[in-house]
Amino acid sequence: MINRLVIIGVGLMGGSLALALRAAGRVGEIVGYGRGLTNLQDAVDRRVIDRVATSLGSAVREADVVVLATPVGAMGDSLAEIAPFLTERSVVTDVGSVKTQVVSAARVALGERFARFVPGHPLAGGEKSGVGAAHAELYRGQRVILTPEAETDAQATERVAAMWESVGAEVRRMPAGEHDAILAATSHLPHLLAFTLMDLLARAPQRRSVFEYCGNGLRDMTRIAASDPVMWRDICLANRDAILAALADYRGELEELAAAIEGGDGVRLLDLFARAKRTREELN
């Protein structure tokens, strides 16, 4: 049971966790903090949170669990601001899509409280943002990756794991660097491709005709381009090296594809498409 849960950044991710814990009967008071007062009042009206904190210090005072659900670029400042107000029993975790940079920021910001920080990333979400998109079933059946460091308190890790399991998630553990390399290829790269494709089409001379006659293929592939631009800017900057490596690999694949089309190499094209089809079917 979490007696007092604090959500810093009450949007899709943080709001959905609050709703899920409330539905599971695993939380007492839920306190929300964020920059947008309209969004926070909406969260109160929807019973996502019980009250709004006026400062980060007042928000985390006497908190059992603090969840950072802001863009990763803002987490370092938030951690530094809450550090003086955390108690010995407070556990801090996050939902960021990049772990190495967040861990480094937390180590600096939290000092002796760093052992009570449990880095986390739920592999769930959507292209819509804000508390209006939050729902209690977002994490059910989804995986949550925890990346505790050597000095991370084992009891704190188990408490965060139990929190996620109570809302129906499956918890996995791995090193932060491994997490960032995997997510660069499986999440960050697809989002960047969707953003880039939509931007390419938006700037095309025949833009009006392109979107008037687009089919479901374009809609399916670019759905995630409707995601929060600020969040994805921060992810790109925070996971720079792993993302650049993934982009280089993809660029090589595109060059091979272009060479096969230019050379009329139907055998090579069929082999690529068939291999991709088999792999996608296995993903289901």
| pLDDT the model gives residue 16 | 97
Tokens at 23, concatenated: 């539905």
Dist CA 57 CA 61 (whole Å) = 6
Last residue of a domain, one of 174, 200, 233: 174
Tens digit of each residue's pLDDT (9 = 90 or more) over 97-135: 999 999 999 999 999 999 999 999 999 987 787 898 999
User: 135, 233 in Cβ contact below 8 A?
Assistant: no
Same domain, 130 and 251: no
Same domain, 198 and 218: yes
Tens digit of each residue's pLDDT (9 = 90 or more) over 19-50: 999 999 999 999 999 878 888 999 999 999 99
Q: Which domain holds residue 217?
A: 178-283
Same domain, 161 and 230: no
Tokens at 21, concatenated: 């814990």
Same domain, 152 and 228: no
Tokens at 146, concatenated: 């925890």
Same domain, 15 and 75: yes
Same domain, 170 and 37: yes
Please give the biggest Cα pair distance in the chain. Answer: 67
User: 155, 128 in Cβ contact below 8 A?
Assistant: no
pTM summary value:
0.90
- CATH number of the structural domain spanning residue 154: 3.40.50.720
Tens digit of each residue's pLDDT (9 = 90 or more) over 240-276: 999 999 999 999 999 999 999 999 999 999 999 999 9
The residue behind tokens 């932060």 is 176
Taking 90 as the threshold, does the pLDDT of residue 53 lie above it?
yes
Last residue of a domain, one of 174, 193, 224: 174
- CATH number of the structural domain spanning residue 193: 1.10.3660.10
Calculate helix-pair angle for 75-82, 100-110, nearest 10 degrees. 20
Same domain, 12 and 120: yes
Last residue of a domain, one of 153, 174, 195: 174
**How many domains, the chain?**
2
Same domain, 17 and 121: yes
Same domain, 75 and 168: yes
Same domain, 162 and 184: no
User: 91, 65 in Cβ contact below 8 A?
Assistant: yes
